Copies of this chain bind each other. A is one copy, B any other.
Amino acid sequence: MTKACFDVLGIGNAIVDVLAKTEDDFLVAEGLHKGSMNLIDTERAEYLYNRMGPAIEASGGSAGNTVFGLASLGASTAFFGKVADDQLGEIFGHDMRSLGAHFECAPLIGGVPTARSMILISPDGERTMNTYLGAAVELTEADIDEEIVSKSAITYMEGYLWDKENAKNAFRKAARVAHQAGRKVSITLSDSFCVDRFRSEFLELLRTGQVDIVFANEPEVKALYQTADRGTALNALRADTKLSAVTLGAEGSVAISGNETFHVPACQVRELVDTTGAGDLYAAGFLYGITHDMGLERSATLGNFAAAEVIQHIGPRPEHDMRQAAEQAGLL
């Protein structure tokens, strides 16, 4: 097997986030389940945008954030995701390439606009996402450049891709190509409601070995195994996959592989401002670690560190040079 050109290839919905602070009352009034990701159509998008407060815009998307975080840590990265040929698409492409990530996915021309997610940030820092997928749903098998996949040590994909048939097929193709090239495949379960929608398919992916590394947060892994008990859920995950990493909010995270379990406490944060991107940046730190032979405990520590940065400001991606920050913290 030749050496991988890319540490991580991310595949996901190419989304620009529209982030605004809100009061919890607004979520209740609009029937939004706090902490969840809701798929919305154009009409609903317009309705919510007219009612939400002043916002800032930032490139986002779960796997996109992870790839960005990896690039900021100094990893070599690539990304597949579909934007439109419009201003938001230009913004997404700029930000993805700005730290050196390979992003050459052809934009959609003359169709629907670039995806955006209206993210409402509650006073406690929790985010509730309302995503209009737009051009992102046009990601198909044709966008899976086999050469890039086979040159990537790990192909990392969002569970969110399961919401659309084309994207699901793209996921399956990428996983197949990666394994044929002797590479690893990783998935994040994305969202507990997403897990509810696709539980049996996600379990099949794990149990048939189509994915090697699983990322989840506690609600997602509990949803996957339909249990309220953390230990039960984690042990079920241990049995189903070779390597998994589960974030536990303020309790940090746990990395699980066979009989090994590493619980790493969370980094201290000065002020929790916005949890958007927390799981994505955790995955970035963890994936950096395991693609650079750092071992599970150090990888999880780096994941916690990257997550801590992104929750201390508004926006889904780090504001700091994460390599420099991690070096200063003695983690790299």
Contacts and interface: CB of A to CB of B under 8 A. Distances in A.
A231 B317 CA distance: 45
A313 interface: yes
The interface residues of chain A, by DSSP majority, are classed as mixed
Contacts of A91: 18, 55, 57
A161 interface: no
Contacts of A68: 54
A53 interface: yes
A317 B68 CA distance: 26
B58 A57 contact: yes
Interface in A18-61: 18, 20-21, 49-50, 52-59
Contacts of A313: 313-314
Nearest to A316: B56
Contacts of A21: 319
A177 to B, nearest CB: 29
The number of chain A residues touching the other chain, given as a range, is: 20 to 34
Nearest to A87: B87
Interface in A274-332: 313-315, 317, 319
Most buried by B among A52, A53, A54, A99: A54
Contacts of A87: 86-88, 113
A265 to B, nearest CB: 25
A126 interface: no
A208 B91 CA distance: 45
Contacts of A113: 87
A143 interface: no
A98 B58 contact: no
A50 B91 CA distance: 11
Contact of A54 (B50, B55, B57, B95): B95
A94 interface: yes
Interface string A56-92: 1111000000001000000000000000001110010
A118 B314 CA distance: 19
Interface of A: 18, 20-21, 49-50, 52-59, 68, 86-88, 91, 94-95, 98-99, 113, 313-315, 317, 319
6 contacts: A50-B94, A54-B95, A55-B91, A55-B94, A57-B91, A87-B88
Given A50-B94, A56-B58, A313-B314, 20 more contacts: A18-B91, A20-B98, A49-B94, A52-B98, A53-B98, A53-B99, A54-B59, A54-B68, A54-B95, A54-B98, A54-B99, A55-B91, A55-B95, A55-B98, A56-B56, A56-B57, A56-B315, A57-B58, A86-B87, A313-B313
